[in-house]
Amino acid sequence: MNEYDEILDVVDFEDKVVGKASRLQVHKNELIHRSVHIIVFNTSGDLFIQKRALVKDENPGLWDSSAAGHVESGENYISCANRELKEELGISEHRLEEVLSIPAQRKSFWEHVRVFKCITNRNICINTNEISEGKYLTLFELRVLMKLNPDMYTSTFNYIYSNYINFLV
């Protein structure tokens, strides 16, 4: 099954399930659905960011959170966050802390987004089908880069930065 065939829960503005649809249908019809973003810090406080692969249907080639993905039908946010961390970065069985909730809106592609934080020094092994490159940045370096060219980052990452990460600097 390819990612366009994934079945997602369609939800309302209160995040209550109202139906199911394929990922392709959800995006084509701008239906409200769910996703997660995981921000991975090392114990020095540096943040790992990823550059989305050019083959991605949303935000190809833009820098983004450490890992992210859609919550599949019947899955909960934390299970999805753990799955995406493993699939995209090769990190498993790690403690995640929810740090931010973003309501569905046009900027989030009609996704209710839950943001989780992970602190680890484990080796990151990026999934090259999803990610073209990744790197750790100090929060100071990230702040400078975000001010210089915020358009190099996904709208969701810009939101996460403005509403959470920026306050850590």
Contact 98, 82 (CB under 8 A): no
- Extents of the domains making up the chain: 3-168
The string of pLDDT tens digits covering residues 35-50 is 999 999 999 999 999 9
Superfamily of domain 3-168: Nucleoside Triphosphate Pyrophosphohydrolase (3.90.79.10)
The string of pLDDT tens digits covering residues 94-113 is 799 999 999 999 888 899 99
pTM of the model: 0.94
> Measuring CA to CA, which residue among 115, 2, 127 is closest to residue 57?
2
